[in-house]
Structure formats: structure tokens, C-alpha cells
Amino acid sequence: MTVASLGDQDLELSLLRFLSAELTRGYFLEHNEAKYTERRERVYTCMRIPRELEKLMVFGIFLCLDAFLYVFTLLPLRVFLALFRLFTLPCYGLRDRRLLQPAQVCDILKGVILVICYFMMHYVDYSMMYHLIRGQSVIKLYIIYNMLEVADRLFSSFGQDILDALYWTATEPKERKRAHIGVIPHFFMAVLYVFLHAILIMVQATTLNVAFNSHNKSLLTIMMSNNFVEIKGSVFKKFEKNNLFQMSNSDIKERFTNYVLLLIVCLRNMEQFSWNPDHLWVLFPDVCMVIASETAVDIVKHAFITKFNDITADVYSEYRASLAFDLVSSRQKNAYTDYSDSVARRMGFIPLPLAVLLIRVVTSSIKVQGILSYACVILFYFGLISLKVLNSIVLLGKSCQYVKEAKMEEKLFNPPPASAPGKPPNKSQSKCKPSQEENLSASVTSQPVHPKENVIPLLVASSSDQFLTTPDGDEKDITQESSELKHRSSKKDLLEVDRFTICGNRID
């Protein structure tokens, strides 16, 4: 046997041995149990996100519905009671230094703004706007719709500040030094804002109506695909729990606004077809497509944001408890704002412009003639009041339950800080603690007490803003967390870096 044949035999034996080792080698996943357990928990978290997110969305949408129905049902009654008190006060004598309570002044201002903007909307021709938008190209309409969405968010963020400035200027104690431009300029600013925001929402509804009535549905498809572009812009960014809470509130407001826009589109289309019920089934598939695409985009977006940022699905229950706290705290004796205003500050949902537009569309689409028609309108109004009361009772009960589960009851009885804006609160200020007999159910049904004359009421930040996502008070500073994340990421071994950590730490 030659040397060459021996070398070939050794090579054959080593090749067989290598193939045998490749076919029979094994490994044990329990040697890296923590890694695989973490991956499995990520999968379970993504599976829980749709359920937890939709529970938050449903609760938030009903909160927006409650604030929206308040404008149509209880606000007119409260304005009537305030005007009745104003006109009958001379008959009973001036017992109080205030002609009207601050809440009544705010109600009258809201009612007057609503009426003025409603009559101003009559000068806007909806039909001309519809044909003007319909004559544009598809790409131009797509760009216009995106610009309208951005403008709507900017209007919502600045509009509530305008309304708050008006309310505070109108109810500020007169003993204080004047530091404002006056009630009348603030009032005109508020009227102009509500009118412009209502026109902007009308253009949005008209663009959506054009998309529904287009023959090839190309514009509607492009507008729905715009929702999926939102995933690209948000999924691969760094999100903290507070940022995710702001995004969740924005999604709630956006979804509820879309529901109202779809209602307006259906009303306008049904009017054009003489209220033929068969045409409603023609619109039904498109409406379901818009709602389904919005829901799918929200679920995918939140699922991957929580995955890349290592946020558990339990955070949505904390968000829901924070929204519930806003509702319950508005029923307290030391409440300093109306519930609809707290919803507007938290979610960016301002019901006045949307209510003005809906009233304008309903009054122009439905003609009321005859005694029977007016009787139906009155019955419909009482039905809205019943729906508002039922919705408020259910929401209040659920909110009390969520607040108790999150152990926030003690913070309900803490009075708001009375320090001046921009100054830290006094640490020596005494805190009012409730007695043993005073419980949550009794406090949310009691009326707010009148402040003393020597106490200066201020527009202060809500106490729920301080424990936005961590009711137990264990939340750290965002800057400290970001610096610690940077230090931890810089110390990671290269073997631990994979595509998940790269996507998770990607900011731009």
C-alpha cells in the first residue's frame, strides 16, 4: 500500500466522521434559558397587545363620546340655568360677591361660541367645496389630506390653550393685578379658532366624501395606505412609557374623530340619494374598510413599539387608570376643571369645532317640517340625554374600579397645589386627609365647594400628570433612564447584539 492510498483512506475516514458528527450532534437550549425565555415573553406580549390596546381604545372612545355628548345634552341645560340665575338674581338680592359661579361663566362662554360659530358656518358652501375638491387630481388630494391631518393636530394642541386662556381671563378674581389683554380679545380669538378648526374638519370630511364617491376607489385606497406609512414613522423610534401614553391618547382621539367624519360622510351621501336605505349598504363596505385599516395599523404599530422598547402589555392598564383618574378627579370637591376640558388636555380632543360641524351638517341634511317632526326631534334629544347619563354612570363606575385597582384613591383627596406658575410648591403646605368614613363613591357625587376669597385659584397641572404611567410612584427621570440605557448599550458584548437590539435602539 502506497503513501498516497493511505492519505486517501485517512481523508475518507475524516470526511465520514465529519458528516456523522454533523448528523448526530446535539445542543441544549436550557444552557441559555434566559435568552429563550425572553424571546417567548416577547411573543406573548405581542399576542396580548391587541386585547389590552383595544380595551384602552374602547374606554378612551367612550370618554370622548361622553365629552362630545355633553355639548349637545347637558351644556344647553347648564347655559339655561346660568342665564336664569343671571336674570333672576335681582329678584332675590345679591347675596354673593359673584354674579355667576366660574363654572357657569365658562358654560355661557361655550354656549355663545357654539351659537356664533354655527351661524358663521352658514356662510361656508359645502357643495361648492365638494365640487372644488372633486376637480383636483388624486395625488394633489392625497397631499392635501396629509396636510389637513398635520394642521388638525396643530390646531388641537394650540386651541385648548386659547380656550383655557379665555376661561381663566373671564373668571380670574378682580382683586388681582391685571396681566392680560382683556376678555373680549380672548373671546374673539376663541371664536376665530373654533370657526377655523370647524372649516378644517369640514375640508377633511369633504375629501373623505370625494374618496368614497370616486369610481375606481383609488383615492380611498391611497388614504388608507397612508395609515400604514405611519408604522414606518413610529415603529423604529425610541419610545418611553410617557411617549407611548401620548401616542395612545392621540390614536384614541384620531379614531373617534374618524368615526364622526364617517358619520358626516354617510349623512351627506344619504341626503344626495333621498335617504334611500339601499345606498347605505353601498357605503357599508367602504366604511368597514376604513375602520379595519385604522384598527390594524394601531395594533401593528403598538405591538412592535412595545417589542422594540421592552415595554410590557400591562402598561396599557396603567394608561387606562390615568384616564380614569381624570374622570374621577373632575367629580371631586377640589375639582378645578370640567371633565370635557380635562379630556381635551389629555387627548387633544376638543369637542366644540366637531360639534359645530356636525350640527351644521345635520341641520342642512335633515329638514324638520310639521309638528310630528318637531316631536321626533324632542324625543331624539331626550334619547341623547338618556344615552349621556347612562354612559356617564357606566364610565364613572368603571373609572372608580380602575382607580381602586391602581391604588390611586389617596391621591384623589390631595388638593391641587396653590403655588404660582413657575415656582415650586411649598413643602410645608399641609395636606388635607380624608376621614375614615369618607369613601370614593361619596366623593365623586358631591358638588364642588366654593373657594374662599383669600385663596387664589390657579390653572395648575393635574396631579395625574405627575404619575402618568406609574401610579405607585416608582417612575424615574427620563433623562436618567436614557443615560443609563446608553451606558448599558455601550457595555454590551458584540455577541449579544442582533437585529432585534439594533432595531430596538434605532432612533432615526
Mean local confidence (pLDDT), 58-69: 93
How sure is the predictor about 470, in pLDDT bands with cuts at 50, 70 and 90?
very low
Structure confidence at residue 95 (pLDDT) = 59
Mean local confidence (pLDDT), 206-224: 78
Q: What are the distances in angstroms from CA 494 to CA 133, 213, 504? A: 55, 56, 15
**Residue 1 scores a pLDDT above 60:** no
Contact 349, 253 (CB under 8 A): yes
pLDDT tens sequence across 137-154: 878 878 888 888 889 888
Contact 338, 71 (CB under 8 A): no
The better pLDDT of the pair 376, 407 is held by 376
Nearest to 306 by CA among 503, 46, 56: 46
Structure confidence at residue 96 (pLDDT) = 58
In this structure, of 12-21, 334-343, 413-422, the range with the lowest mean pLDDT score is 413-422
Q: What are the distances in angstroms from CA 412 to CA 244, 433, 434? A: 24, 10, 10
The better pLDDT of the pair 1, 102 is held by 102
Say how far residue 129 (Cα) sits from the centre of its chain: 29
Structure confidence at residue 176 (pLDDT) = 60
pLDDT tens sequence across 257-266: 999 999 999 9
Structure confidence at residue 425 (pLDDT) = 45
**Residue 40 scores a pLDDT above 60:** yes
**Residue 65 scores a pLDDT above 70:** yes
**Residue 61 scores a pLDDT above 90:** yes
Mean local confidence (pLDDT), 255-277: 89
pLDDT tens sequence across 81-95: 988 888 887 665 555
How sure is the predictor about 196, in pLDDT bands with cuts at 50, 70 and 90?
very high
Domain assignments of the chain as residue spans, ordered by start: 49-413
In this structure, of 1-15, 82-96, 199-213, the range with the lowest mean pLDDT score is 1-15
Q: What is the mean pLDDT of the chain?
A: 77
Say which residues have a Cβ less than 8 Å from residue 343's Cβ, sequence separation at least 6: 63, 64, 66, 67, 326, 349
Neighbours of 17 (CB within 10 A): 10
Catalogue the long-range contacts made by 453-461 (C-beta closer than 8 Å, 24 or more residues apart). 453/97, 455/418, 456/173, 456/176, 456/418, 457/102, 457/173, 457/336, 458/418, 458/419, 458/420, 458/421, 459/164, 459/168, 459/336, 459/337, 459/421, 460/336, 460/416, 460/417, 460/418, 460/419, 460/421
Structure confidence at residue 77 (pLDDT) = 92
**Residue 9 scores a pLDDT above 60:** no
Return the residue matching grid coordinates 360622510.
265
Per 3-state DSSP, what percentage of the chain is helix, strand, and coil (rounded to 5)? 75, 0, 25
φ/ψ (deg, to 5) at 127: -65, -40
How sure is the predictor about 228, in pLDDT bands with cuts at 50, 70 and 90?
confident
**Residue 383 scores a pLDDT above 90:** yes
**Residue 416 scores a pLDDT above 70:** no
Mean local confidence (pLDDT), 186-213: 91
